[in-house]
Amino acid sequence: MLKLLIKKSLFILLCLTLPAVADVKIEKGEKKLPLKGESFKLNGRDAFVIVPEKAKANTPWVWYAPTLRGLPSKAEVWMFEKFLAKGIAIAGIDVGESYGSPDGRKLFSDLYQHLTTTRKFAKKPCLLARSRGGLMLYCWAAENVDKVSGIAALYPVCNLESYPGLEKAAGAYKMTAAELRDALPDHNPIDRIKSLAEAGVPILHFQGDNDKVVPHDENTKILVQRYKKFGGPAEVVLIKGQGHNMWKGWFESQKLTDFAIARALGEKLAPLEKLRMLGININREKRCVDLDARVCLKEGALELVVCTSGTKEHEAIFVVEARPVLIHAALLLVGANPGNPAGRRKLEQGGWIDVPPRGGEVDVSVVFKDADGKEKESPLQNFMVSTADPNKKFPTSTFLFAGSRLIPQEKGPNIYLCEQSGNVISLSTFGDELLCLPERHGHENGALLWEVVGENLPKLGSKVSLRLRPKFAKAK
């Protein structure tokens, strides 16, 4: 009798400690999808799955939100096809304008249970949040850290105060705006990411710097700063000039798609590909450096191609704000080999000898938007011609990574000469340039052999990027 009572007690205790299984009701759905898939209703809500042809057990998947009316749309077809080709399914559920509320999170959990049990989907999907899908998925993920492999996001909402605002969101939370304000630490994504960061869940955000609907500074910037502070792996790709729109680049980003595929498959991500310093973008994967610049000259003879602000804008085509010593460091990070500018060296036996410039070769191109607003990349030589013969184009876009010079000081740090002269990419020989041409070239007025081709450039003052791409010897 005692043994029976013990067994009954253990059974009751076990039942009390086991998580409750959600009551999921599945019905036929009528949601229209941009690709062939299955539409169904889960507990009365429109849901969908798009499954690869040869789906296997433990199917990897990407969880898309928001699945509102008309979403996902044809805009997502490109990336969805890439997922399917890798054997990855796509799924989602319409939870209405829940703004990440507990009711919406409950429906998300119902979908997760259905897919991972009945349909045998993998236990850790990669979340794909677009716009206010950020509120929905981040709020669910914060409570389900062990069920998330990564979060890829397109201009995601991360802050209820920014969008839709507490007055509008309060109804979904069954609170007043004042009550929701007090409860923000329990519901707002920017306040709830510590557990995700500490679990090492990777996140990647694509955001426009001109987004007026979901401003970067009020959403992604805050969330990612806090995420990194808690030790979480995070990267932001901030797109210049873009807002909250249907720009094709959002939906056909190879980087975002590769990230989602890698995380859905449980693969390790490649090391950090891009770094940014003031006025400098470093792409370690493509081994190039982009400098923020602007057009400062459209007519006249040239001593330089690029100078720093406040130096020789009257004799250079482009001006950069970045410090030359940081440009030097950026080139080192992508594997470029520095040398030395042209100069003179004193011989032990007396006298002097000329030292030619040397350094690894670096191709230079200009990236800007053409008259149709399309981005184009053009070799640097397209913007210079001979002063004597306007039909003679500048012969090369390749320069040497001379690396300027360091001058020791008795007190204080050494001086990097290019910081004083501003001679970043030089045609003439000054002996302190960062990038230079082979051999020596005079800089007297009569020796200036090249002039700018103004008609090939955007208007004066236009912002461009100067792409520095080191050349490396090919393996034999």
Least trusted range by pLDDT, from 137-141, 157-161, 426-430:
426-430
Measured distance CA(62)–CA(65) in Å, rounded: 10
Share of the chain above pLDDT 70, in %: 91
Judged against a pLDDT cut of 60, whether residue 271 lies above it is answered with no
Taking residues 132-146, report their average pLDDT: 97
Measured distance CA(305)–CA(319) in Å, rounded: 9
pLDDT of residue 252: 93
Judged against a pLDDT cut of 90, whether residue 315 lies above it is answered with yes
Taking residues 276-297, report their average pLDDT: 87
Taking residues 103-130, report their average pLDDT: 97
Least trusted range by pLDDT, from 19-23, 374-378, 416-420:
19-23
Taking residues 304-308, report their average pLDDT: 95
> b/e string for 384-405 if b means 16 or more Cβ within 10 A?
bbeeeeeeebbeebbbbbbbbb
For the chain, the C-alpha Rg in angstroms (whole number) is: 29
Judge contact between 170 and 180, C-beta under 8 A. Answer: yes
Q: Which among 443, 445, 427 is positioned nearest to 435, based on CA atoms?
A: 427
Judged against a pLDDT cut of 80, whether residue 12 lies above it is answered with no
Measured distance CA(138)–CA(246) in Å, rounded: 22
CB atoms within 10 A of CB 107: 24
Length of the chain: 476
Taking residues 298-320, report their average pLDDT: 94
Residue 288 vs residues 275, 365, 401, 466: alpha-carbon distances, Å: 11, 11, 13, 10
Taking residues 180-203, report their average pLDDT: 95
Structure confidence at residue 426 as a pLDDT band (50, 70, 90): very high
Domains and CATH numbers, the chain: 17-270 (3.40.50.1820), 277-343+354-470 (no CATH)
pLDDT of residue 6: 36
Least trusted range by pLDDT, from 120-124, 185-189, 242-246, 402-406:
402-406
Judge contact between 211 and 243, C-beta under 8 A. Answer: yes
Judge contact between 162 and 215, C-beta under 8 A. Answer: yes
Q: What is the mean pLDDT of the chain?
A: 89
Q: Which among 82, 95, 83, 173 is positioned nearest to 132, based on CA atoms?
A: 95
Taking residues 189-212, report their average pLDDT: 95
Measured distance CA(209)–CA(241) in Å, rounded: 6
- pTM beyond 0.85: no
pLDDT of residue 291: 96
Taking residues 153-160, report their average pLDDT: 98
Instruction: Name the range with the highest mean pLDDT among 11-20, 184-193, 229-238, 362-371.
Output: 184-193
State pLDDT tens for residues 28-83.
999 999 999 999 999 999 999 999 998 878 999 999 999 999 999 999 999 999 99
Judged against a pLDDT cut of 70, whether residue 10 lies above it is answered with no
Measured distance CA(239)–CA(154) in Å, rounded: 11
Judged against a pLDDT cut of 80, whether residue 272 lies above it is answered with no
Task: Please compute, for residue 25, the number of CA atoms within 13 A of its CA located in the half-sphere on the CB side.
Answer: 4
Judged against a pLDDT cut of 90, whether residue 344 lies above it is answered with no
